[in-house]
Structure 1
Amino acid sequence: MNGADLKAKTRAGGIVYGTMLSAARNPRWATTIAGLGLDYVIIDSEHAPRGRSEIADLLSGLTSVDVVPIVRVPIPSSHYITMALDAGAQGILAPYCETPDEVREVVGATKWRPLKGELVRRVVEQGEFPSDASREYLERRNRNS
């Protein structure tokens, strides 16, 4: 299963099963998790001290056994979100989005990357893309992920 399959299954009213990894550090957990029949795993980096390489190893391990990896970032920041997505996360769980600005930052980083700065602000706030080609590409990518 991948992120697009997980999204389609939930939109169709299907049931998906998952868990959260808080203490596990070894990417070999992926094979054990695959044997449980889980659809997704949330890798916690809010309450667990995880570095980029550890998150990347866990993402790679879970993806290799067809379990959708989702990363819970420490704070709603585009910095952490883009690092997780670049490493292979197929979803993001952003804790404590308490202001409209935080929500816009999370949406911009997850849905409209690789746009940054003023370009992503215009897309999120006004729906104004740099070009028709970039809009088509980003909308297609979001449909398929």
Structure 2
Amino acid sequence: MLTSNRLRQQLAQQQTVFGLIASVPVPIMVEMIAYAGFDFVIIDMEHVMINPETVEHMIRAAEQSGITPLVRIPEINAKVILRVLDSGAMGIVIPQVETKEQIEAVIQAAKYFPIGQRSMNSGRPSVFGRDNLVDYMDRANQEIMIVPMIETVKGVEHIHKILSVKGVDMVLEGAADLSQSYGVPWQTEHPHVRQALDHIQQVAADQQIPYCAIPRQPDQYDYWQGKGVQAYVLGDERGIAFRALQSKLAQFPVASAIPSKEQSHNYK
């Protein structure tokens, strides 16, 4: 059911919040992220093959474990947005935003009248019609978050117009794709990329819209904290799990346990 958006409340109270991208499409990973202490999770539909039922189960896991579920959609598509929100998502993360028209289209699909034209339904967010549906529509318009990702040079150039659209609740950086857009793939510390991120954050601050950074090193966290940034995404659980597995294996002399070519012949 639709509840108060805890992430929105935390940002309004100027609390520091931490999120993680859920790239492993299973509900138990959302529970692990929640119980590890994160404040919000971004369920990824952009880079992950995932079916709608799994998305709903992951949202349900977030609800049960007390973490705010956002969903990163693969593209701006009104039907996808509708189904994600009808499944209970508390916000939409939009990749590759470059124009204000894109955000306006998302708001039309994600918000009910008088803000938008989201198709009406009495599904699980309104407890299948148990709640007053008119009241539910008003609460949904207040609680659902719209979060554009800025990942291209064009998006940076149009950031003033993008963030001028009423209804943007947070802006998320995309330094990796941004580095490629600037012609320096994976060089997220390149001066062009750093200047672009600084510009996005400054415009967001001027518009009083929370900026969400993705610090890849501890000193980057310190840097953004010094600029008053409250929201952080600490990567995805897939990368964290992979590095943890590598670290665990490195603690043991595994090389001696692997048969040499000569030894392997004895097993045939």
Task: Return the TM-score normalized by structure 2.
Answer: 0.42
2: CA distance between counterparts of 1:116 and 1:8? 24
2: CA distance between counterparts of 1:144 and 1:51? 25
Q: How does 1:1-145 map to 2 (within 5 A)?
A: 4-22=5-23, 24-112=24-112, 115-116=117-118, 138-144=137-143
Regions of 4+ moved over 3 Å: 136-141
Q: CA deviation at 1:116?
A: 4.8
In structure 1, the residue matched to 2:241 is none
Structure 2, unaligned runs of 5 or more: 120-133, 145-268
| Partner-residue secondary structure (3-state), 2:43 | strand
Q: Which moved more, 1:83-92 or 1:107-116?
A: 107-116
Task: Return the TM-score normalized by structure 1.
Answer: 0.74
| Partner-residue secondary structure (3-state), 1:93 | strand
Q: CA deviation at 1:3?
A: 5.3
Q: Assess, with a 3 A threshold, how the Cα gap between structure 1 residues 110 and 3 changes in structure 2: closer, same or farther.
A: farther
Q: CA deviation at 1:112?
A: 2.5
Cα deviations by residue, 1:71-112 (Å, 9 ceiling, x for unpaired)? 000002212111100011011101123334322110111222
Task: Choose 1 or 2 for highest CA Rg.
Answer: 2
Structure 1, unaligned runs of 5 or more: 118-133
Q: Contact 1:4/1:144 (CA < 8 Å) preserved in 2?
A: yes
Q: Contact 2:41/2:70 (CA < 8 Å) preserved in 1?
A: yes
**RMSD value, Cα:** 2.4
Q: Assess, with a 3 A threshold, how the Cα gap between structure 1 residues 40 and 140 changes in structure 2: closer, same or farther.
A: closer
**Share of identical aligned residues, percent?**
28
2: CA distance between counterparts of 1:17 and 1:41? 9
1: CA distance between counterparts of 2:92 and 2:102? 14
In structure 2, the residue matched to 1:124 is none
Q: Contact 2:76/2:106 (CA < 8 Å) preserved in 1?
A: yes
2: CA distance between counterparts of 1:84 and 1:105? 16
